[in-house]
Structure formats: C-alpha cells, structure tokens
Amino acid sequence: MTNTQPKVVSGLQLWQWRHQAIQAAIATDVPVAEVDWLLQEIAGLDRLALRLESYKNWPQIQLKLALEDLEQLWQRRLHDRLPVQYIAGASPWRNFKIAVSSAVLIPRPETECLIDLAVTAANHSEAIPPLQQGNWADLGTGSGAIALGLANAFPESTIHAVDYSSEALAIAAANAQNLGFADRIRFYQGSWWEPLSFLKGQFSGIVSNPPYIPTSTLPTLQPEVILHEPHLALDGGADGLDCIRHLIEISPSYLRPGGVWLIEMMAGQADRVREILQNHDSYSNIEIHSDLAGIERFALAYVNAEC
C-alpha cells in the first residue's frame, strides 16, 4: 500500500490523540490498556514515557502509520471490533513478537503451554534417538507460532509447518525469517499431514492447534473473533472435533514409535478426545492437561511401539 500521509507527528499531537482514544475506548467498552499497547507498537514509545507523558514535549515522533490511518483503524477497533493486534500487525507470544494479519489466527496465551508440554513429554521419553531431535510437525501453523516455539525449544530438530492457506504460510515464513529460524522450519501448503507423506513414520512429534469450535457455536464467539479472524482456523465442524478426529486417525502412521501427539482443544472436549484416543489402539499414556485458567485444554499421547 502506498501511503503519502506524513508519519511524523509532534508529541503534543500524539498526546491529544491518546487522550481522545482513551475516552473513546471507555465509551465503547474496549480495554483502555490497548491504547498504550498500540502506541508502544506504532510509535515506539515505552511504558514509562506513556505513563509520565514525557513524550508530550518531544518535537517529533516517528510513527509506523500516518496518524490519520491510525485514527481510522482505531475507529474500526471501536466500532467494527477489529482486534488491536491486526492494527499493530503483531502479537506477543512466548518470547517472540509474531507478525499477524487477518489471514491468521492471533496466537493465544493459552497456546503457549503447548510448547512446554512438548518439552516435558520429550524430556520424559526414553526414545532413542531422543525425541528432541529429528522431525516435528506443526499442522495448521497459521502465523507459525507453534513452529517457532518448537524450533526454539528443540534446537536439534527440524520443524515442518503445514497450512492450507498460502496467505497464512507467507506470514509464517516471514516470521521464521525475521526471528532467525528460517533454516530450521520448512513450510508446506496442504491439508494436515498430506504434504509430509515423504516422511511417514519419521516424526518425533506433532503439535497442533486445530480448528475446534463447533460450527453452531461460531456465532456466539466475541465479535473480534467471529468478524475478523479466519473461520478456516476456527470451525471444527458439527461437534468441533472433525480435525482432531482426523489427526488422531492419521498421525500414528507419521510418528515414530514413542512419538508425541499433542493438540489444543476447547473447554468440554477433553472426555470425548480421550475416548477417541483410547478407542484407536495406537496410543498409550493419554494425558489431559489444563491451561492456566484451569480449563482442560490439551491432550497428549504417545504412539505405541508396535505401530
């Protein structure tokens, strides 16, 4: 997008904008803290300068967006419920700043736990060679968050990240490049395991945050989610479990004996997911883990040796 608007403002101009934005946030029930977070991202201000308002006297502040565009997008935040992360074009996740656009789901804090669970599972495994090495898959990678987390946690592994959306893959690949993991993560367009058939039986683990919201529940989600985030990343079919069932069914032929199967799911799905895993016969040591809110959110299992 070519933009001829000036991107330099005076401290006073930005101070005025911030005050109006805060008032408008209060009036429309948008968390006020989003204004300062956005200004940290767009204007490079730190929290102290914002709190003390020391920037008010600065002659010039460089913005990433013209003030008019920022104002227009902020109006969309207030009135169209556009998520603030899509305005900033970034979201914090674990130790990364991950670039996002509306082509990808904004990575959620609870999803961060998947990486710690993968690390614990690999540390507890006695598989030889160790699970920390070799190939890991992030299926439905979106922004690439899980793939980046795995690459960081398992420095001796190669991560294979798959998404159906080419637009999402472009964002994920840019994130891998910018965060220094381009040589450790490979990207593939396609459906779940399909592009990885050349590595059947060779994966140490699969980690996924698949779409798991039941189709009929979608309209009840927050407007920020349902109006702006990609439905491909949310809609899990009639009972929300279509993709999880597929991943349970197909993964054993892709994983090494003892390999880790790990996914995120929705509140209320744990019993059913455990049951489907148990009925499959290929999995053992099935574990359900809660997120920090105490919601049973993650299912983990190991593929049996005889598979």
Q: Checking DSSP bridges between strand 185-189 and strand 203-208, what pairing results, if any?
A: unpaired
Give the binding-site size for ligand GLN (rule: CB under 6 A).
10
- Asked if residue 243 binds ligand GLN (CB under 6 A), the reply is no
Burial class (CB in 10 A: 0-12, 13-18, 19+), 156: exposed
**Smaller CB distance to ligand GLN: residue 42 or 168?**
168
Phi, psi at 297, each rounded to 5°: -125, -20
Asked whether position 225 contacts ligand GLN by CB under 6 A, the answer is yes
Which of 39, 234 has the CB closer to ligand GLN? 234
CA distance 271 to 296: 9
The whole-angstrom separation of Cα 20 and Cα 16 is 6
Verify binding: residue 288, ligand GLN, rule CB under 6 A.
Answer: no
Decide whether 41 or 264 has the Cβ nearer to ligand GLN: 264
Nearest residue to 137 via CA among 255, 286, 287: 255
CA atoms of 161 and 185, how far apart (whole Å): 7
Distance CA 78, CA 82 (A): 7
The backbone torsions φ and ψ at residue 296, rounded to the nearest 5 degrees and listed phi first, read: -65, 105
At residue 173, the 3 state secondary structure works out as helix
**Cβ contact 257:306 at 8 Å:** yes
**Residue 181 or residue 298: which is nearer to ligand GLN going by CB?**
298
| Rounded distance between C-alpha atoms, residue 263 and residue 258, angstroms | 16
Which 160-219 residues touch ligand GLN, going by CB under 6 A?
209-213
107 binds ligand GLN, rule: CB under 6 A? no
Q: Tell me the closest approach of the beta carbon of residue 83 to ligand GLN, in angstroms.
A: 11
**Under rule CB under 6 A, residue 245 binds ligand GLN:** no
Cβ of residue 209: shortest distance to ligand GLN, in angstroms? 5
User: Which residue, 153 or 295, has its beta carbon nearer to ligand GLN?
Assistant: 295
As measured in angstroms, the least distance from the Cβ of 141 to ligand GLN is 12
CB of residue 20 to ligand GLN, shortest distance in Å = 30
Q: Which of 122, 126, 110, 125 is nearest to 289 (CA)?
A: 110
**Smallest distance from the beta carbon of 263 to ligand GLN, in angstroms?**
9
Least distance (Å) between residue 185 CB and ligand GLN = 20
Under rule CB under 6 A, residue 85 binds ligand GLN: no
Where along the sequence are the contacts to ligand GLN (CB under 6 A)? Answer: 105, 108, 209-213, 221, 225, 234
